[in-house]
Amino acid sequence: MTEEEILKNFKDGVNQERSLSALMDMHKQKLYWHIRRMVVDHEDSNDILQTVFIKAWKNLAKFRGESGIYTWLYRIASNECFTFLKKEKKRRTISISDEENDIGNKLRADRHFNPKEIEWKLQLAIQQLPEKQKAVFSLRYYDEMPYSKIAEILETSEGALKASYHHAVKKVQEFLTSD
Amino acid sequence: MNEIQQELEALNVSLPASNKAVQEVPNGYFDRVNEDVLNMIKAEAFSETLPKKMPQSIPSDYFDTFNKKVLAQVETAPEMIVHRTSKLKPWALAASIALILSIGLFTFQGTEQLSISSELAQISESDLKEYMLDNDYEFNDYIIEGQTANLHQVEEEFFEEAEGLSKDEILEYAL
């Protein structure tokens, strides 16, 4: 099933569940990892990913197709992540122990965590980035998106995104080489 | 008459005598640009050496069972939960008004009608967005509904709707 067929089915009110399932099959893995890179924890990522598709279900019939569904889903996912991280930040400021909520500790808690492996070091480095840079890095480096698409998702100019990505890479490099 | 002027004359085009750039560039821009470009090239080269594999673990059947879990939730959900009864969602109006109040751009005077377009126009999109995110407004619902997160559009709608509201009406929205 193509995205056009999925969209048509939603607008016509037919085969909606099958269409949603097809949409999830197309995008769930990439979206999941984008979310996971942003919020780190699997359960939080799962909640956000489910929310993204439930919101898609509720609103696809009205989708006007100004951007592709893929871009639209990424935009919802990114904004859900930003909202989640804001709430987490607020929660951390009133928590007795900041340590238990520390995002780096969430990574270290993974049963496969190995601080000597470059993949894990990179994940720790990414978590040092400000939220927006983290999103830019995730979309550009891991999802290999063109800046024009990232600009649509994050509503930032391509020039600013390029600068943001290069700042992010530089910070990652500094983190990795200082270790 | 130089070559360029002769060429323009041949084309029968009249342009201002001076072709100097009138725009300004930031101080030191041309001194920095070489280094900036080199840094970008180095950053690109460095990023190519990094691994792309995600090391985190996920439950083995996570993606296989994911669709079923979502479908179970949407079966019980109403088809459309976002209804726009007004051109402007109350949260957007409340956020905008609360923002204006919080930064003290104007004060209420009795029950006079308010004209706040100009005051609101002074608030940048990023400030408005930041404020709404800070206050946990359902920003995404607006994105979904409008398919764009164009806050200028929110502001425009706000202008249309907020003009002429009484103090009591505004407070009712904002509270």
Q: Does domain A1-103 have CATH number 1.10.1740.10?
A: yes
Number of continuous H segments (helices) and E segments (strands) in chain A = 9, 0
| Same fold flag, A1-103 and A114-179 | no
- Domain ranges across chain A: 1-103, 114-179
CB contact under 8 A, B71 and A37: no
Could you tell me if B46 lies within 8 Å of chain A, comparing CB atoms?
Answer: yes
Could you tell me if B45 lies within 8 Å of chain A, comparing CB atoms?
Answer: no
Query: pLDDT tens, B27-62?
Result: 888 888 888 888 878 888 888 889 989 999 899 999
Rounded distance, CA A76 to CA A56, Å?
9
**Banded pLDDT at B134 (limits 50, 70, 90):** low
Query: pLDDT tens, A59-112?
Result: 888 888 778 899 999 999 999 999 999 888 877 766 655 554 577 888 888 888
The complex's ipTM works out to: 0.82
Rounded distance, CA B34 to CA A142, Å?
28
From the CA of B172, how many Å to the nearest CA of chain A? 26
Rounded distance, CA B41 to CA B45, Å?
6
CATH architecture for residues A114-179: Orthogonal Bundle (1.10)
Cβ proximity of A161 and A132 under 8 Å: no
Q: Scanning every residue of chain B, which has its alpha carbon at the shortest distance from the alpha carbon of A108?
A: B56
Could you tell me if B112 lies within 8 Å of chain A, comparing CB atoms?
Answer: no
- B13 vs A12, which has greater pLDDT? A12
| Tokens 């104007």 found at | B106
What pLDDT is stored for residue B3 in this prediction? Answer: 85
From the CA of B94, how many Å to the nearest CA of chain A? 18
Nearest residue, CB atoms, B47 vs list A50, A61, A141: A141
Average pLDDT, stretch B71-98? 55
- DSSP codes joined into one string, B114-155: ---HHHHHTS-HHHHHHHHHHTT--HHHHHHHHSS--HHHHH
CB contact under 8 A, B63 and A29: yes
- For helices A16-39 and A42-59, give the axis angle rounded to 10 degrees: 140
Q: Scanning every residue of chain A, which has its alpha carbon at the shortest distance from the alpha carbon of B52?
A: A142
Q: How many CB atoms lie within 10 A of CB B125?
A: 14
* Chain A interface, best mutation among B73, B125, B140, B150, by max A CB count within 10 A: B140
Could you tell me if B113 lies within 8 Å of chain A, comparing CB atoms?
Answer: no
